[in-house]
Structure 1
Amino acid sequence: MARPSRAHERRAHLIAAARRSVVERGLLGLRLRDVSQEAGMSSGSVLYYFPGLTDLLREVHREAVERFCDEREAVVRHESDPRLQLSAMISSGLPGDPRDELCVLLYELGAIARRDAACAAAYIKLYERQVGIYAAILQAGAATGAFTLTDEPLAIARNLVTLEDGYGLHITMAVPTLSPALAERHLRAYAAGATGVSL
């Protein structure tokens, strides 16, 4: 009887090793050998499962985007009041600290998106999914009278996601320029002004 293929398991192991390598070493100067050592495999073995380092990093990026968006959608799903949904969404969008694994991954891998169409498409998906969650909350709040919006829901949603991205980058720098708590206060102040609701 033929032995079951372990390709899926090996690929998952390599993706996890690449994820750890990006978080620990950063993307700048990362080599295939670094990932293979982290995985306890030879570089040739890595290339058996992925044509090159960029292909492996694309998969790490795709997985990180899915996980980040899924987590944010789950946080909102547990609330029915648009005000509580907006508050939960704001709390879930920033790095908890400069070493926040998921956020560091997304910022590090952003460098690839500047040159790689597949990674750029994943970043567009990340942005659009987050904007979509915010916009739905804002529309529901406006429809029920919970919010008095100062602009179109889509414009406010885009501003919130863009502010999160900018603040998150500053939080995860080698020398952070502001704390997660301060960034969240700024986000809440913008959201309060845009919705007419104290958050």
Structure 2
Amino acid sequence: MGIGYNGRVNDPQAAPAEEGSAGPAPGAAGPTGRARTGGASAQANGASAPTGDASVQAGGASAPTDDGASAQADGPAARTDGGPARAPRPARRRNTAPPREDVLAAAMATIAERGLDGLTMAGLGRDVGMSSGHLLYYFRTKDELLLRTLEWSEGRLGAERGALLSRHDLPVAGRLAAYVELYVPDGPRDPHWTLWLEVWNRSQYAGDDARDRQAAIEGAWHRDLVALIAEGVSRGELRPVDPDRYAARLRALLDGFSVHVAVGLPGTGRAQVLAQVREHLAETLLSGS
């Protein structure tokens, strides 16, 4: 899922003027007061250049700087003494765009602080020092941004889940309880579950690729639970149930309770939900209960 953020470069600095060559244009503008994402703006013909994702060529034409190339003003600088033209200086790279993880972490932080309505391309761009157009270049749509943010968040949860479930020194019942606690939201407006619900809601209009990626997230949770239940059954710690069927039913129960917690339904706080799930597991799965 990598996002290939390329570095951006400044326009090359002009070489020192030789005797007889033209100096800077009179009245050339200095740096603007606008926020910049790295490096100085290119300037030409006395006008200050925008500081977004494109540098300015001579004559005012803009050119993307993401491919590492910077526009040269009217080709090589001419000499007035009849000698060969000076070769243009190599372009210098501007500060690179923020890593993908920084962008996705900023998106999740915005959801946590201001909710989904507070997440806009323009606002996220300001947070990470990119233009909204630059973000759209990489993510194409807000739906794609949301799905990638969810995938990033799920990757972190998956690593935590894997570490918990691989503790074979712990009884299966203890690891199952840890799985449930990781699954259920922390409380109303939990950012991960808020994002999950939004992606689910948009999935009815999503294409096959997006649906497959959502299914992959669901599948990871399901496979881990099936493997844990199968281990418990084989070790005699759990009742002899069909691991796949039981996992599907338990996750449906967890999903229903989790939605109630995430939206703040009265009487279904996290502590109450965890207590009900523990009771259900004791009645239907744990051996000797």
Report TM bin, short chain: 0.7 to 0.9
* 1:98-128, Cα deviation, whole Å (9 max, x unpaired): 2433333322332232322333223212222
Is the helix fraction higher in 1 or 2? 1
CA contact (8 A) 1:156 1:194 kept: no
Aligned residue for 2:140, secondary structure, equals coil
Unaligned runs of 5+ in 1: none
Q: Which residue of 1 aligns with 2:147?
A: 58
- Give 1:131-150 correspondences, 5 Å limit: 131-149=222-240
CA deviation after TM superposition for structure 1 residue 94, in Å: 0.8
Letter in 2 for 1:119: A
Moved more, 87-96 or 46-55: 46-55
Relative distance call for 1:57 and 1:175 in structure 2 (3 A) is same
TM-score in terms of structure 2 length: 0.59
CA contact (8 A) 1:14 1:39 kept: yes
CA deviation after TM superposition for structure 1 residue 40, in Å: 4.4
Relative distance call for 1:23 and 1:49 in structure 2 (3 A) is same
Aligned residue for 2:205, secondary structure, equals coil
Unaligned runs of 5+ in 2: 1-89
CA distance in 1, matches of 2:137, 2:211: 25
Q: Which residue of 1 aligns with 2:138?
A: 49
Aligned residue for 1:146, secondary structure, equals coil
> CA-atom RMSD, angstroms?
2.7
CA distance in 1, matches of 2:158, 2:99: 25
The count of corresponding residues between Structure 1 and Structure 2 is 197
CA contact (8 A) 1:61 1:119 kept: no
CA contact (8 A) 1:72 1:92 kept: yes
Letter in 2 for 1:161: R
CA contact (8 A) 1:98 1:171 kept: yes
Aligned residue for 1:65, secondary structure, equals helix
Q: Which residue of 1 aligns with 2:211?
A: 120
CA distance in 2, matches of 1:19, 1:115: 23
Q: Which residue of 1 aligns with 2:17?
A: none
More relative contact order, 1 or 2 (CA 8 Å, 6+ apart): 1
Relative distance call for 1:99 and 1:26 in structure 2 (3 A) is closer
CA deviation after TM superposition for structure 1 residue 175, in Å: 4.6
